[in-house]
Amino acid sequence: MIQETIKNFLQQHHISRDAGFILAVSGGADSICMLHAFKYLNLKMLVLHCNFSLRGKESDMDEQFVKRFCDSYGIAHSVKKFDTLKYARENGLSVEMAARELRYTWFREMKEKKKKWILFLTKVNELLRSKL
């Protein structure tokens, strides 16, 4: 299970279970699975959710889902809404690259506020680990 993967990762990298973890949660199955696992392991966490405003009401529904999920479990969370299309136009970027820049800039800002916390990201069933 994913809980075992997380526990093994923490052990292999000598990361204390008392550390704080910043989780990037999209609201999709992969990130919600990871969030459940961290909650099950009773790890201290802060959830970050990006609303890129690219899918209209669907983007807002993902945001609300993540907020409600976190609220129902007492998990600290922060949400940021971006005007991704405007940012892409103003900076001559593809929408995908604009979203990536916006996301990682915000993640770095949040990581700076929580200096000793560890940032975990998810993507396509793969647990990515990063210390931005």
- pTM of the full predicted structure? 0.86
Distance CA 60, CA 63 (A): 5
User: Contact, 122 vs 34, CB < 8 A?
Assistant: yes
Q: What is the pLDDT of residues 12-69, one digit of tens each?
A: 889 888 889 999 999 988 889 889 999 999 999 999 999 999 999 999 999 999 999 9
The dihedral through the CA atoms of 132, 76, 80, 115 has a sign that is negative
Average pLDDT, the chain: 88
Q: Assign 77 a pLDDT band (cuts: 50, 70, 90).
A: very high
